[in-house]
Each structure stands twice: as structure tokens, then as C-alpha cells.
């Protein structure tokens, strides 16, 4: 379905437009599409062309987003569409992010009813990049809010500040992919590191529950000094931001071998120097998937795969009273 896009301007020449939603600021000729595939210039105006159209609908554990500190053990309705404004050679969802596929139209009220029927805490915009679906996420988000339900985005964080500030009015929680910590890495994936850093900062400062995921790829972003700078950057925002270090496996165009367990543990230990909550993902994490009180070491949440058991049922430590970064 077509929806007139937000954040575009008409250019003088031949009906071309500029999209100002993300740092690419694509200049799009009549009949053309932006780098994200899904925002198109039709007769001199920019449209979001997958409004209300989904490629995937699932009920997932919230831990799968991953969000470990936001209503643990709850279920969340999860949807996505086509397109992405990055070009990662290691994309795990490349079948829907790099091309247009079959999409099913679904009304917002049907999604609200579906969420209620399955006792979902709300909806997660995930699978592909949700910020390029801006108009739909905003409308859907308002409806979910009106029904007392939560909105979650799982995003690469490549969105300009002005639309971000509009979007977060309806967002309750976010997991942002911080894919590397050098301009060189972000050049490779066609993104902008400073924008992602700004997004994480803005979310946290606006009291949006924020967690961060870092996919550790051998020979690409496994420089420990760069990673240390990343951890320090997160710590400067808040020592409480949960960091998920995810294990890479070869996929799509990326042929590096899987990340070794030794490397995962090395990065886990490094992150723990700076941050209160660090987790390993895509790996049999053992104790590295549990949550502990940063002060007294009390076990708060036990996790094994997607099995989750909340032991400490308050947002403070029941043993030492430390205030914890959890929404329960």
C-alpha cells in the first residue's frame, strides 16, 4: 500500500526528490527508489510503498529480539517488511531485506487483536530495518499505545535525529545493532557510525529502554582496542546498558569462518570491565547468558536457550537493594 512519505523535499529538477529520513539522504529520480528499496518516487512525490504489508508475522519470546531486561519471559508479536538502508554482506535476513518479496496486507486493528489474543505485551518491528517503515511504525505504534500495549524496535539505528525524535514518542524499548566502532566498518556496510551513536544516546536520554547488540565477526570487527572504545562509549551513556555480543556464522555474502568461542569469551571479559550487563548470544552461553546483580552477584535471571526463569522479581536486588535496569 502506498503512503505519502514523511521527511522528503522536492528538488527543482525533473520531479526528483530528496529523502531526509536517514543519513543517506537519497536523491531519487521520478520512477526510482531509495537505497532502502522501499521508498519510491512516484510522479515527483516520495512514498513508503509497503505501508501495512508484512513479510513475516510471529509470536516470539522477548528474549529473541534480544531484549533481556524488558518484561523477561513475555511474548511479543513480531512483524517485518522488505528493504533495508544498510548493505551488510552478513545479513541474516537478506531474503527479505535485499529484495521485494510477497507481502501480505494486514490492518493495524487485526494486529492489535492478534497481540491481545496471544497475550503479547505489544509489538516488535523487526526482521528488516523498521525505521524505513517509518510511517507505518508510527501509526501502528499509536494504536498499540492506545490499547495499552508496548512498541519495540530492533534497528540498525541509521535514522536522522528529527524523525527519530518523532518516532520515539511511541517507542517503549529498542535493541540497536552497533555493528562495529570504526568509520571503515560502517563504510563497508554503507551506514554511519556517528548516527548510530547518536541514536543510542538519544534513546537512552529519552528514557526509552535500550539494549545494544554487537555481532562479532572475525577479521572484520574483532579488534579489541576498537571494541574497548565501544564499551567505553556505552559506559559513558550508562554502565547499565545491556550489551549482547552475538556469535557470527557465515551467511549471505560473508564467508569468514564462525567466531571462535575463545574470541567470544575474550570480548565478554573485556566488556564486563566497563558494563554491568553483558551477554553472549548465538552460542551455548552457560553462565554468560544469566543476569546477576552488578553489586552483590545475586542471580537475578537464569537463561538457557529461550528458557528464562526470573528469580529476582523486583527492579531492585532482593539481596542488597541495588536499583536494577529492568522493566518487569
Q: Which is nearer to ligand SF4, 8 or 144 (CB)?
A: 8
The SS3 call for residue 191 is coil
The Cα 79–Cα 103 span in angstroms is 11
Q: Which is nearer to ligand SF4, 50 or 210 (CB)?
A: 50
The rounded Cα 297 to chain-centroid distance in angstroms is 28
Least distance (Å) between residue 318 CB and ligand SF4: 45
196 binds ligand SF4 (CB under 6 A): no
24 binds ligand SF4 (CB under 6 A): yes
The SS3 call for residue 274 is helix
**In which residue are the cell numbers 540498525 written?**
156
The residues facing 152 across adjacent strands are 124, 173
30 binds ligand SF4 (CB under 6 A): no
Q: Rounded to the nearest 5 degrees, what angle is found at the Cα of 323, between the Cα atoms of 211 and 326? A: 30
Tell me how many residues contact ligand SF4 (CB under 6 A): 12
Number of Cβ within a 10 Å radius of residue 254:
14
Least distance (Å) between residue 88 CB and ligand SF4: 14
The rounded Cα 149 to chain-centroid distance in angstroms is 19
Name the one range near ligand SF4 by CB under 6 A: 29-37, 56-64, 107-115, 209-217: 29-37
**In which residue are the cell numbers 525533473 written?**
14
Q: Which is nearer to ligand SF4, 39 or 209 (CB)?
A: 39
For the chain, the maximum distance between any two Cα atoms, rounded to a whole number of angstroms, is 67
Pick the binder of ligand SF4 from 11, 15, 25, 185 (CB under 6 A). Answer: 25
36 binds ligand SF4 (CB under 6 A): yes
50 binds ligand SF4 (CB under 6 A): no
132 binds ligand SF4 (CB under 6 A): yes
Name the one range near ligand SF4 by CB under 6 A: 28-36, 107-115, 135-143, 306-314: 28-36
The residues facing 19 across adjacent strands are 8
84 binds ligand SF4 (CB under 6 A): no
Name the one range near ligand SF4 by CB under 6 A: 21-29, 54-62, 113-121, 175-183: 21-29
Least distance (Å) between residue 7 CB and ligand SF4: 8
Output the nine-digit C-alpha cell for 20. Answer: 531526509
User: How far is residue 197 from each of residues 126, 127, 161, 200, measured CA to CA in Å?
Assistant: 20, 21, 11, 5
Handedness of CA 183, 186, 191, 196 (dihedral sign): negative
**In which residue are the cell numbers 494504536 written?**
143
34 binds ligand SF4 (CB under 6 A): yes
Output the nine-digit C-alpha cell for 111. Answer: 494486529
153 binds ligand SF4 (CB under 6 A): no
Please give the residues from 204 up to 263 whose contact with ligand SF4 meets the rule CB under 6 A. Answer: none
Pick the binder of ligand SF4 from 22, 168, 200, 285 (CB under 6 A). Answer: 22
The DSSP element (H or E) to which 46 belongs, if any, is strand 45-48
Handedness of CA 144, 146, 150, 153 (dihedral sign): positive
199 binds ligand SF4 (CB under 6 A): no
Point out the residue whose Cβ comes nearest to ligand SF4. 34
Query: Using CB under 6 A as the criterion, which residues of the chain lie in contact with ligand SF4 when the complex forms?
Result: 19, 21-22, 24-26, 34-36, 39, 85, 132
Amino acid at each position: 500500500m502506498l503512503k505519502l512519505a514523511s521527511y522528503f523535499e522536492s528538488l527543482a529538477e525533473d520531479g526528483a526528490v530528496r529523502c531526509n529520513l536517514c543519513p543517506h539522504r537519497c536523491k531519487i529520480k521520478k520512477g526510482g527508489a531509495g537505497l532502502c528499496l522501499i521508498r519510491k518516487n512516484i510522479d515527483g512525490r516520495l512514498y513508503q510503498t509497503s505501508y501495512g504489508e508484512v513479510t513475516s508475522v510471529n509470536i516470539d519470546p522477548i528474549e529473541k529480539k534480544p531484549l533481556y531486561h524488558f518484561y523477561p519471559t513475555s511474548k511479543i508479536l513480531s512483524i517485518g517488511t522488505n528493504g533495508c538502508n544498510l548493505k551488510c554482506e552478513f545479513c541474516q535476513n537478506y531474503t527479505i531485506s535485499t529484495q521485494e518479496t510477497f507481502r501480505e496486507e494486514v490492518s493495524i486493528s487485526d494486529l492489535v487483536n492478534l497481540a491481545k489474543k496471544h497475550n503479547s505485551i505489544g509489538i516488535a518491528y523487526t526482521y528488516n530495518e523498521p525505521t524505513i517503515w517509518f510511517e507505518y511504525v508510527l501509526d501502528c505504534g499509536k494504536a498499540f499505545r492506545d490499547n495499552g500495549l508496548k512498541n519495540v524496535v530492533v534497528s540498525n539505528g541509521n535514522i536522522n535525529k528529527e524523525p527519530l525524535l518523532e518516532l520515539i514518542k511511541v517507542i517503549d524499548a529498542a535493541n540497536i545493532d552497533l555493528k562495529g566502532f570504526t568509520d571503515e566498518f560502517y563504510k563497508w556496510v554503507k551506514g554511519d557510525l556517528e548516527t548510530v551513536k547518536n541514536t543510542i544516546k538519544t534513546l537512552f536520554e529519552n528514557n526509552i529502554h535500550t539494549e545494544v547488540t554487537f555481532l562479532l565477526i572475525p577479521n572484520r570487527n574483532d579488534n579489541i582496542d576498537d571494541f574497548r572504545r565501544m564499551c567505553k562509549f556505552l559506559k559513558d551513556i550508562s554502565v547499565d546498558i545491556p550489551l549482547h555480543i552475538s556469535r557470527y556464522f557465515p551467511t549471505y555474502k560473508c564467508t569468514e569462518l564462525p567466531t571462535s568461542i575463545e574470541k567470544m569469551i575474550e570480548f565478554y571479559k573485556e566488556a564486563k570491565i566497563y558494563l554491568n550487563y553483558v551477554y553472549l548470544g548465538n552460542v551455548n552461553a552457560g553462565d554468560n547468558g544469566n543476569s546477576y546483580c552488578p553489586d552483590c552477584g545475586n542471580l537475578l535471571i537464569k537463561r538457557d536457550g529461550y528458557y528464562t526463569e526470573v528469580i529476582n522479581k523486583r527492579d531492585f536486588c532482593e539481596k542488597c537493594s541495588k536499583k536494577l535496569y529492568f522493566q518487569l
